[in-house]
Amino acid sequence: MPENHSSTAPATSPVPAPARARREPMFPDGPAPDPAGSHHERRIRSFQPRRSRVTPGQGDALRRLWPQWGLDIDGLSRLDLGELFGDPDLPVVLEIGFGMGEATAQMAAADPGTGILACDVHTPGQGNLLGLAERNGLANVRVANGDAIILLREMLAPDSLAGVRVYFPDPWPKKRHHKRRLIQPEFLALAATRLAPGGLLHCATDWEPYAEQMLEVLSASPDFENTQPDGGFAPRPEFRPLTRFEGQGLDKGHVVHDLLFRRRAAR
């Protein structure tokens, strides 16, 4: 039945929410929908743009906290990480694809001496992580909105990161989608330039064929060395909490693999 917006509607009719113009951003001072205009760049992306509902709590966090703790990956300027975290000596780790951010917040709380630059394209997750950071008093988390490739390529200085974490990247199980997987030789070459010598690249996945692929390309990379003397997967380090995606994989009986590689000192 069509809605009745006529002036004769009874006074008790619900007031319709003010209409938002089609391209008007939902959070004017929050994360931009496509900060780098990356859909114009001819490149296969590792994520699929998705519309997900932002809860009132996540929306509130985005509105209040984004101006202080959020940053859009627009690819336009080099970041000064010392300035971003308010401490020029703080080692900074980049986490790519934090999802809803529960594990990120736990790791930040456990290690206040490390800055976590947490990057994802997922708006509800960005709001969730901002809320978690506020509720837990985490001063060492910054939330970056957009494609990690542009962040690495355009906005982070060489040797600026103490670590890179990629926990349960989208597995893209279909063969025709394998090219979308994040962990590929080109990604490793880029990440290696942004990691300081000795910096740790930590990946984890519950998708066995992807785990094998990760081990293969990481072992073949001239920029990284395996921290495991046997050249294999690493035991799950105690510092990595269970992530949401990992829990879902374990429920399905999947086996989880961690990979811990170090950037070599000399290239």
Active-site residue set: 170
Binds ligand SAM (CB under 6 A): choice among 169, 172, 195, 200: 169
Interior/surface letters 165-184, b for 16+ CB within 10 angstroms, e for the rest = bbbbbbbbeeeeeeebbbbb
Q: How many CB atoms lie within 10 A of CB 204?
A: 24
When asked if residue 223 is in the footprint of ligand SAM (CB under 6 A), the reply is no
Which of these segments, 20-28, 90-98, 231-239, 256-264, binds ligand SAM (CB under 6 A)? 90-98
Query: Please, are residues 127 and 143 in contact by the beta-carbon 8 Å criterion?
Result: no
Site string for ligand SAM, 33-52 (x = CB under 6 A): -------------xx-----
Burial of 21 (0-12, 13-18, 19+ CB in 10 A): exposed
Check binding of 107 to ligand SAM (CB under 6 A): no
**Residue 119: CB minimum distance to ligand SAM, A:** 5
User: Applying CB under 6 A, which part among 12-20, 56-64, 78-86, 142-150 lies near ligand SAM?
Assistant: 142-150
d(CA 232, CA 214): 11
Among 125, 139, 145, CA closest to 61 = 125
Tokens of 156: 């982070």
Find out whether 254 and 209 touch, Cβ atoms under 8 Å. Answer: no
Out of 36, 54, 108, 119, point to the residue binding ligand SAM (CB under 6 A): 119
Instruction: Decide: is 167 part of the binding site for ligand SAM (CB under 6 A).
Output: yes
Q: How far is the CB of 85 from ligand SAM (least distance, A)?
A: 19
Query: Segment contacting ligand SAM (CB under 6 A): 34-42, 93-101, 132-140, 229-237?
Result: 93-101
Interface with ligand SAM, residue 130, by CB under 6 A: no
243 annotated ligand binder: yes
Q: Is 251 exposed, middle or buried (0-12, 13-18, 19+ CB in 10 A)?
A: exposed
- Is 246 a residue that touches ligand SAM (CB under 6 A)? yes
Residue nearest to ligand SAM (CB): 97
- Chain-centroid distance, C-alpha 118: 5
Per CB under 6 A, residues contacting ligand SAM are: 46-47, 96-99, 119-122, 147-149, 167-170, 182, 243-246
